[in-house]
Chains A and B, each alone.
Chain A
């Protein structure tokens, strides 16, 4: 239990122990330690992404059910808890259908281009002190850069399907994502000005006394809205608006290929929530001024899933907005407000 609080110590101990074991068996220590660290990190994160997606999908369906006064999935397993596992098996067992006029290679590779960046973002997520895959000194910039690659996969999927709805969905999605990405990066600038670093651990360290949601409330709201749009979630799910575009860019995708888009969507949602929790809610810090009653990793997950819940709540509360409203809102409301936030933050910092 104590080790959960002091994860930095835990990591040091494990490294120490591994180095000692290597010495005992006369192995080159550096190599073995690195290999084991790599294997463990990849397995942990890979497992987390799959389990997290299954859990969040189930949570989403259950929450949606209760919000609409029904029960949600109830058939598979007690209270339907095995529903998403059954869905995953179903998707694996489905026949592979590639449309005759599709661009086969692009069609085949689009899920890779969507999934890889989603996984790459997990490199810099700060779980707990010392428990971070790699604390890149470019942290936030890296996240923004990786986050913008996924849109290429969406365009690839839309274009290669050979379906008009897919093409329009893909193009629409790219227009939406680039518009909201600007507002998102500009909202983050305010936090960076206060923290004075791009490193995730430094940003969290700067929030020990006061979370940035208090100093940057406007940036927080902008970030949440832009992140919802970035993840293509309702009320900004126009790329896959069923009433107009069937299923948007993944109309022609089925079975395991569709499952990959789905997995990537939920992986991205977790990343967006985790980044939000790190930048604005103090990451692994407890509530300032109160004793740490929970381990840092619990704090981090608590805050992250709170934001995930917020996203789900949005989805089942707001109606989908129109496409002209979407672009207008991004460029005429969010962007000027983000600039205003930077100006105000700078002004206050210069004056004080």
Chain B
């Protein structure tokens, strides 16, 4: 019950964030002018008429970075509980986590050597 009450605040604050945005939208909608014209509705491309589709291809590297990120983020998720109880666990836990981290760092080094971390 205590837990539920705690997370009620999280939901309430999410609501507050939405209130900010929608409150702003509504206030603005009530007081702003509206004089639409077709020229205004073009997207901005340095003052020219936009050329081609806007959903262009982008570099595959973004995807590779996302992939490495997921791996390390999962590791961070493991590190959080380990860090909290580290004082009680002592040496054994330290060695174990260092081995785990070393394995992941070898992966990072491999990616580094392969040139994935190099931005072009």
> Do A and B come from the same complex?
yes
Q: When A164-B54, A256-B28, A349-B86 are in contact, do A120 and B10 touch as well, CB less than 8 Å? A: yes
- In the complex, which residues 13-51 of chain B have their Cβ closer than 8 Å to any Cβ of chain A? 13-14, 16-22, 24-25, 27-29, 31-36, 38, 40-46, 50
Tell me the complex Cα distance, A192–B86, Å: 9
CB pair B40 A251 closer than 8 Å: no
User: Judging by beta carbons under 8 Å apart, are B6 and A167 in contact?
Assistant: no
The one of B9, B17, B36, B62 that contacts A112, using a Cβ cutoff of 8 Å: B17
B25 and A162 contact, CB distance less than 8 A: no
Contact-residue size bin, chain A (C-beta under 8 Å from the other chain): 35 or more
Interface check A115, CB cutoff 8 A: yes
Q: Collect the chain A residues with CB atoms within 8 Å of residue B44's CB.
A: 163, 165, 246, 251-252
Residues of B within 8 A of A196 (CB): 84-87
A19→B80 CA distance, assembly (Å) = 39
For A182, what are the chain B residues with a Cβ–Cβ distance below 8 Å?
Answer: 69, 72-73, 76
Cα distance, A251 to B45, chains bound together (Å): 10
Decide if A64 is an interface residue (CB 8 Å cutoff). Answer: no
Within 259-274 of A, Cβ neighbours of B (below 8 Å) are at: 259-260, 263
In the complex, the answer to whether A255 meets B87 with C-beta atoms within 8 Å is no
- Convert A87-101 into 0s and 1s, putting 1 for each residue whose CB lies closer than 8 angstroms to a CB of B: 000001111111111
- Of residues 77 through 105 on chain B, the ones whose CB sits less than 8 Å from some CB of chain A are 79-80, 83-87, 90-91, 94, 97-98, 101, 105
A332 at interface (Cβ–Cβ under 8 A)? yes
Asked if B105 and A161 sit within 8 Å, CB to CB, the answer is: no
- B32 interface neighbour in A92, A133, A171, A324, Cβ under 8 Å: A92
Q: A99 contacts B24, CB within 8 Å? A: no
- Measured CA separation A118–B36 after assembly (Å): 32
Q: Is A339 a contact partner of B85 (Cβ separation < 8 A)?
A: no
Knowing A46-B20, A163-B43, A192-B84 are in contact, say whether A95-B79 is a contact too (CB < 8 A): no
Is B112 interfacial (CB-CB < 8 Å)? yes
Query: Which residues A98-122 have CB closer than 8 A to chain B?
Result: 98-102, 111-112, 115-120, 122
Residue A134 at the B interface, CB < 8 A? yes
Bound: A98/B73 CA distance, A: 36
Judge whether A38 and B17 touch: CB under 8 Å.
no
Q: Is A331 an interface residue (CB 8 A)?
A: yes
> Restricting to A189-236, which residues have a CB under 8 Å from any CB of B?
189-190, 192-193, 196-198
B73 touches A323 (CB 8 A): no
> Closest approach, in angstroms, between the C-beta of A196 and any C-beta of chain B?
5
Interface assignment of A350: CB less than 8 Å from any CB of chain B? yes
A29 to chain B, nearest CB (A): 15
Which of A55-63, A71-79, A288-296, A340-348 is near enough to bind chain B? A340-348
Most chain B CB inside 10 Å of its own CB: which residue of A119, A163, A349? A119
- From B25, B45, B58, contact of A167 by CB (8 A): B58
Is A123 an interface position by the 8 A CB rule?
Answer: yes
The distance in angstroms between the C-alpha atoms of A281 and B50, with both chains bound, is: 50
Q: Answer yes or no: A20 CB below 8 A from chain B CBs.
A: no
Partner of A193, one of B7, B16, B86, B112: B86
Residues of A within 8 A of B (CB): 38, 41-42, 45-46, 49, 92-102, 111-112, 115-120, 122-123, 133-134, 136-137, 140-142, 159, 161-168, 171, 174-175, 178-179, 181-182, 185-186, 189-190, 192-193, 196-198, 246, 251-252, 255-257, 259-260, 263, 323-324, 326-328, 331-332, 335-336, 339, 342-343, 346-347, 349-350
22 A-B pairs (CB sep. < 8 Å): A45-B13, A92-B32, A95-B35, A97-B40, A97-B41, A119-B16, A119-B20, A134-B10, A162-B54, A164-B56, A181-B69, A185-B79, A190-B83, A196-B87, A255-B28, A256-B28, A260-B20, A331-B112, A343-B101, A349-B87, A349-B94, A350-B94
For the complex of A and B, the 10 pairs showing the least CB-CB separation, nearest first, are: A116-B17, A324-B119, A119-B17, A256-B28, A192-B83, A100-B41, A134-B9, A163-B43, A178-B69, A185-B76
